[in-house]
Structure 1
Amino acid sequence: MPVDAGSIEIDEEGEDAVTPAAPLDIAQFVRAQKGSNRPIDGVYRGYAYLQGAERNDVCLVAVDDYAVLYVDAVELAARTGTQGWNDVAVALGEALGGAIAVDDAAVKTELSWIVAYLQALDDAAANGSSSIGSGTRLFVTTEESFDLGDAGLRFSFNQEYASGSFYTSVIGIDGSDVMAGASGVRAELRFADFCNTASWAEGTFAAEADAAGAFGRFLDDLDWSPLWVTLKTTGTAIVIVFILGLLAAWWSLRIPSRAQDIADSIFTIPMVLPPTVCGFVLLLLLGKNTPVGQWFIDIGFPLIFSWPATVLAAVVVSFPLMYRSARGAFESIDRTMLDAARTLGWSEGRIFFRLMLPLAWSSIAAGTVLAFARALGEFGATLFLAGNYVGVTRTVPIAIYFEWMNGNTDVALFWTGVIIVFSFMVILFINLWSRRTTRYRRRTQDA
């Protein structure tokens, strides 16, 4: 019996669904609006959608004007306790290419409730984007890897391409990139859906929870890796930027004036360039096909699309703010005071640490705050140079963009709030500390 879409009840998070007309319920539904066309662990797998840390009973990939649906027939046969899904697997195995259209009578009855679930959940998660319409031509397979010969495409489902991470991927049968279409095989990949079957106990589905309980469940399910990657990246970058910015500012004031203009332009230019341009230039200079990039690979330290690349991107875009603040502070120091120190026999190092740094500390602290904020919010250069690898290079700004693109607006809003609150607290702390240091120095001078 066909399932009426109006009878399907979806929970408030859009992840679980039930209907009395279906033999099973749906849990852990996720819509992936975007995938990645980059190599995974150094191997090109095609255009891949990240499923997560577990396999899924149901996977769907929307391509052009049709969609390809994978169902785990063995799992569903065991859950439903019927032979219907075994018959589906046999029918699909005998079909050309291992896939048949959903309107085939042999499988229509068993598929109708899954298709109805997917259409209802996908419509709820689309947020105005394209979804699975009732007129979409749907192909079905029970094989985790099969070729759709007419389209020249190979679909792979539940593939553990990286340790602990499962993917669904689409690649040309000849191994070509289906996004580029260089070999004549091209597909417009729209999105992917993933979910599992479940049996919700009566009265437990979509139970009303208080705000604290709902928020606690949200935090339990949240992937915290973007926060740790961001903190590690920003913390490392700000230490490097602080040291390099001070040294560059001090050195630029000791060279001839004409050379100063050139050095200042070089040090400042990342501040006025769009972040995507900075990332693209770094990719051209340090890519795997460049001498520098190849050298890093030869020494066993591949730089591009790795965590060090996130640090490098953050350093490049935030360095000018630190440099300009430090240089302006050093230029404002009375030169006669520095000359007097030299006549007393002070070394340049002692003058720098005992005289220049204390006098310029307020401006240096301000520059540190600005550089920190810039590194914390870096997006464009990081995406170009380091990519979007969960737990490795996916920082909070990158997570906000991709979570929003995947329809996870609540996760994107949470990370946005975290960035705002964290930035405010750090800036407030440094400003208070800088003010206290300045007040102490003034009292010392008055004494």
Structure 2
Amino acid sequence: MADASAWFGAEEWQAIALSLKVAFWASLLSLPFGVFIAYALARWRFPGRQLLNGLVHLPLILPPVVTGYLLLLTFGARAPLGAFLKDFGIVFSFRWTGAALAAAIMGFPLMVRAIRLSIEAVDRKLEEAGSSLGASPLRVFFEVTLPLSWPGILAGAVLAFAKALGEFGATITFVSNIPGETRTLPSAIYAFLQVPGQEGAALRLVAVSVTLAMAALLASELLARRVARKGAAR
């Protein structure tokens, strides 16, 4: 069997590894916020609820370049918040951490929507039964709502992961296209297409992108079905 390294060049492997790293941290770190906001939108009634819902879904409507530019204005090295965070060693602009932040924001609406639909599908009577037995709202959430909505949480996390793998516009605007630092799969494909004779490398990375995206979607479906079967067996 041929060595796997013969299939891809060093730059290609670098882009693949960086994309997986960015997508993993983008989906993992945004998951707690996604669960909280999805629960708030599904269960709470408060002033500004529709505004919050609009802000959450705004990245789906705005051009990705606009989102990236807003991130640059907010977290850039010369921006007030960016300069403040830099004093604590937290830098986003032109770093892979910034690529993860951009990917997380672009995938956040898909995550929240999947989780919200799952929470709304939980029977409120089960939550009310837990409350009537003296359980606190926090305990009801962790012992009733969270386990029953777990398939949607998994689906939301994997959808955000898949979206992060394909994020391009906001990422390249916010953190540029630096090899080894911010050049993810989409950025690498774009870069290769600008160089004559590199169409083969671009095509290989396109194949990797499609494979990873399909694998993520299939994994989401399989995990959701497994958790649903376990829930039905209880």
Query: TM-score scaled by structure 1?
Result: 0.49
Give a deviation string over 1:99-157, Cα, whole Å, max 9, x none.
Answer: xxxxxxxxxxxxxxxxxxxxxxxxxxxxxxxxxxxxxxxxxxxxxxxxxxxxxxxxxxx
The equivalent of 1:137 in structure 2 is none
The equivalent of 1:303 in structure 2 is 92
1:24-43 aligned within 5 A? none
How far apart, in 1, do the equivalents of 2:229 and 2:100 lie? 34
Question: Number of residues paired by the alignment?
Answer: 233
Q: Which runs of 4+ in 1 moved over 6 A?
A: 212-216
The alpha-carbon deviation at position 345 of structure 1 amounts to: 1.0
Instruction: Please tell me whether the aligned partners of residues 159 and 216 of structure 2 are also in contact (alpha carbons under 8 angstroms).
Output: no
Give a deviation string over 1:248-284, Cα, whole Å, max 9, x none.
Answer: 1123345434422121112221122121111011112
How far apart, in 1, do the equivalents of 2:168 and 2:89 lie? 27
1:440 correspondence with 2:233: no
The equivalent of 1:409 in structure 2 is 199
Letter in 1 for 2:52: A
Give a deviation string over 1:29-65, Cα, whole Å, max 9, x none.
Answer: xxxxxxxxxxxxxxxxxxxxxxxxxxxxxxxxxxxxx
Letter in 2 for 1:306: R
Query: TM-score scaled by structure 2?
Result: 0.90
| Closer, same or farther: CA 219–252 of 1 in aligned 2, 3 Å | closer
Letter in 2 for 1:239: L
Give a deviation string over 1:6-47, Cα, whole Å, max 9, x none.
Answer: xxxxxxxxxxxxxxxxxxxxxxxxxxxxxxxxxxxxxxxxxx
Which structure is higher in RCO with an 8 Å CA cutoff and minimum separation 6? 2
How far apart, in 1, do the equivalents of 2:11 and 2:187 lie? 15
1:286 correspondence with 2:80: no
1:393 correspondence with 2:182: yes
1:427 correspondence with 2:217: yes
| Closer, same or farther: CA 221–297 of 1 in aligned 2, 3 Å | closer
How far apart, in 1, do the equivalents of 2:82 and 2:42 lie? 33
Choose between structure 1 and 2: higher strand proportion: 1
How far apart, in 1, do the equivalents of 2:118 and 2:61 lie? 21
Gapped regions of structure 1 (runs ≥ 5) = 1-211
Instruction: Please tell me whether the aligned partners of residues 237 and 315 of structure 1 are also in contact (alpha carbons under 8 angstroms).
Output: yes
Letter in 1 for 2:33: L
Instruction: Please tell me whether the aligned partners of residues 267 and 320 of structure 1 are also in contact (alpha carbons under 8 angstroms).
Output: yes
| Closer, same or farther: CA 302–441 of 1 in aligned 2, 3 Å | closer
Letter in 2 for 1:401: Y
The alpha-carbon deviation at position 231 of structure 1 amounts to: 1.0
| Closer, same or farther: CA 286–334 of 1 in aligned 2, 3 Å | same
The equivalent of 1:362 in structure 2 is 151
| Closer, same or farther: CA 223–415 of 1 in aligned 2, 3 Å | closer
How far apart, in 1, do the equivalents of 2:4 and 2:229 lie? 43
How far apart, in 2, do the equivalents of 1:234 and 1:348 lie? 32
How far apart, in 2, do the equivalents of 1:288 and 1:238 lie? 24
Instruction: Please tell me whether the aligned partners of residues 57 and 109 of structure 2 are also in contact (alpha carbons under 8 angstroms).
Output: yes
Give a deviation string over 1:171-213, Cα, whole Å, max 9, x none.
Answer: xxxxxxxxxxxxxxxxxxxxxxxxxxxxxxxxxxxxxxxxx87
Could you tell which deviates more after superposition, 242-251 or 214-223? 214-223
How far apart, in 2, do the equivalents of 1:356 and 1:435 lie? 18
| Closer, same or farther: CA 290–219 of 1 in aligned 2, 3 Å | closer
Letter in 2 for 1:438: A
Choose between structure 1 and 2: higher helix proportion: 2
How far apart, in 2, do the equivalents of 1:260 and 1:221 lie? 48
Name which of 233, 244, 268 aligns with 2:57.
268
Gapped regions of structure 2 (runs ≥ 5) = none
The equivalent of 1:377 in structure 2 is 166
| Closer, same or farther: CA 441–221 of 1 in aligned 2, 3 Å | closer
| Closer, same or farther: CA 284–221 of 1 in aligned 2, 3 Å | closer
Instruction: Please tell me whether the aligned partners of residues 230 and 395 of structure 1 are also in contact (alpha carbons under 8 angstroms).
Output: yes
Letter in 1 for 2:57: T
Instruction: Please tell me whether the aligned partners of residues 279 and 381 of structure 1 are also in contact (alpha carbons under 8 angstroms).
Output: yes
Instruction: Please tell me whether the aligned partners of residues 12 and 188 of structure 2 are also in contact (alpha carbons under 8 angstroms).
Output: no
Does the residue aligned with 1:398 lie in a helix, a strand or coil? helix
Does the residue aligned with 2:48 lie in a helix, a strand or coil? helix
How far apart, in 2, do the equivalents of 1:393 and 1:256 lie? 40
The alpha-carbon deviation at position 414 of structure 1 amounts to: 0.6
Give a deviation string over 1:388-407, Cα, whole Å, max 9, x none.
Answer: 11111110110001111112
Please provide the CA RMSD for this pair.
2.2
Give a deviation string over 1:375-400, Cα, whole Å, max 9, x none.
Answer: 11000111011111111111011000
How far apart, in 2, do the equivalents of 1:240 and 1:383 lie? 21
The equivalent of 1:226 in structure 2 is 15
The alpha-carbon deviation at position 218 of structure 1 amounts to: 5.0
